[in-house]
Amino acid sequence: MLTPEAMAVLKARYLMDNETPEAMFKRVAQTIAQAEALFDGDASRAAAEYDQLMSSLEFLPNSPTLMNAGKSNGQLAACFVLPIEDSLEAIFETLKNTALIHQSGGGTGFSFSRLRPKGDQVAATGNTSSGPISFMHVYNLATQVVKQGAVRSGANMAVLRVDHPDIMEFISVKHQRNVLNNFNLSVAVTDKFMAAVDADLPFELINPRTKLAVNSVQARTIYDRLTEMAWENGEPGLFFLDTVNKANPTPLLGAFESPNPCSEQPLLPYESCNLGSINLAKMIKATKHGIELDYNKLRNTVRTAVKFLDSVIDINHYPLNLVAEQSKLTRKIGLGIMGLADLFILLDIPYASEQAVELTANIMKFLTTEARLMSSAIALRRGNFPAFNGSIFAVQGYTAMRNATVSTIAPTGSISLIAQCSSGIEPLFALSVTRRVLEGSTLISSNPIVLRYLSERGLLSETVSAVIERDGSIANTDLPLAVQAVLATAHEIEPAWHIAHLAAAQRFTDNGVSKTVNLPYHATQADVAKVFKQAYESGCKGVTVYRNNSRSEQVLTHGMTRCAKCEE
């Protein structure tokens, strides 16, 4: 049974006219199964497998697939990256392509790093450049116009290299509230910059047009501004450029410059990726020793999900020919997880523990290994991805691989609501939350797994229920400390544990991991700097922090009442 919260989201964004959730899952399953006809497969059998997988809420694909499968010109991928070259024609050609992608339900990432800095000469006109930030405002306005009336609003990621001359303006652009609201911001940080921060050295800023240094700034001056703004409002995040490119599976095709809007999917120019997530709370079995993770069920789910996601590539109606060509060249898919926090509660394991971190790593190692085995098996029947020669797989001695990447951990904000599980690899934000899901719409809910956990231990009294509803936490109760540890919420968990899970997952994930390091309201700028440093040193591809209530509006708030700070 779907919860009222899930039904509200489905009716508002996913279901076609007079469509039931059951009919939606059948529509999606039958559409994706049509790929079997291209390879002499059994479409009816595949459709039944996909329908069971989704209707059981064991796996869900990204939102565009649920929304658009079966529609004429249905665009099924979530993530796109487009290049922005340093000419007016190129800038506005990419803007046109962005509008088409947003219209189709996709999100776009860009690096503005190739654009000449503000005040630089424009030879063709004799004027000076307005700089990359000015064009971000143009893209932001266009996104706002296109998304009006859209079921799925367009979203963007803007990246600027840390050595761009306009980097300080970029870092501070959201100091003024309600600016670039259709963008997430990330700074592309290099190993050279991080070394300069450590050694307190000057750092050269390079004009991308001339490739010459135009200024030198103390690296820590830039870093301090970064941590200050992230402390102030959660942006920008960091995108560890060299770390990302060391894991590039097709280096001969080019280098990564930007991820998608939620930063979990680095892509080459014009690539897209379709994502899907397995609900770990459904991957369990009861044994004489208690609840355990069912690895056999997880293996079978991974295999079916990989075949589903690979088939999406062949069924998809891409918004641009270039995107279709590049996407089919590498055939990237991104299978990930959601419900990790729920799984820990079911297993009676605190999120803030070495046992939990080890399990996160083991799950992603298992998932990626099995997904790659399945991709290899599919390739024997359907063929390798066309860019296989020259890829890391050819170098490593593989003979068959259908997909250049197989795993990604997305934030799963909407599909986790449908699946009624915790999002991505995040800890529970709160034990009860008021969630803004749509314009002017809120959903209030207490976590049923939490309530069941307490009830099974005889700890769910009316008083405890009231505290959970009011505070979204049991931290100020007299419940056993072991129980409080298992049910600790995001802001009660030390940032180091957030990073530990991020790094553990990233170690065995082909693409990236979307994870927010939640900080309490009283966290300091030094705390942010420590998080950034730990993320970099532990091999993460990116990191984002968010200090509670540092913005006047946020998607989740604790409990069913707002904190006193919000009422000031």
Cite the active site residues. 260, 262, 264
Decide: 154 and 146 in contact? Cβ < 8 Å: yes
Q: How far is 249 from 295, CA to CA, in rounded Å?
A: 27
Q: How far is 454 from 348, CA to CA, in rounded Å?
A: 11
Residue 358 CB contacts under 8 Å (≥ 6 apart), including other chains: 504
Place of tokens 């291209």: 38
Place of tokens 């991957």: 283
Instruction: Indicate the burial class of 533 (C-beta count within 10 angstroms; 0-12, 13-18, 19 or more).
Output: middle
**H/E run at residue 128:** strand 127-128
Report the sign of the C-alpha dihedral through residues 425, 426, 430, 433, in that order: negative
Q: How far is 390 from 253, CA to CA, in rounded Å?
A: 9
Q: How far is 209 from 211, CA to CA, in rounded Å?
A: 6
Q: How far is 538 from 505, CA to CA, in rounded Å?
A: 11
Decide: 398 and 417 in contact? Cβ < 8 Å: no
Residue 357 CB contacts under 8 Å (≥ 6 apart), including other chains: 497, 500, 501, 504
Q: How far is 442 from 374, CA to CA, in rounded Å?
A: 40
Instruction: Indicate the burial class of 3 (C-beta count within 10 angstroms; 0-12, 13-18, 19 or more).
Output: middle
Give me the amino acid identity at 485.
Answer: A
Q: How far apart are the first and last CA of the chain?
A: 40
Q: What is the largest CA-CA distance in the chain?
A: 79
| Three-class secondary structure of residue 78 per DSSP | coil
Counting Cα atoms < 13 Å in the Cβ hemisphere of 462 gives: 0
Decide: 312 and 61 in contact? Cβ < 8 Å: yes
Q: How far is 543 from 259, CA to CA, in rounded Å?
A: 12
Beta strand ranges found along 257-313 (DSSP E): 258-259, 266-267, 272-279, 284-287, 290-293
| Three-class secondary structure of residue 287 per DSSP | strand
Six-digit token string for 195: 């070394």
Six-digit token string for 499: 């990073």
C-alpha distances out from residue 234 to 140, 238, 311, 418, Å: 19, 11, 37, 27
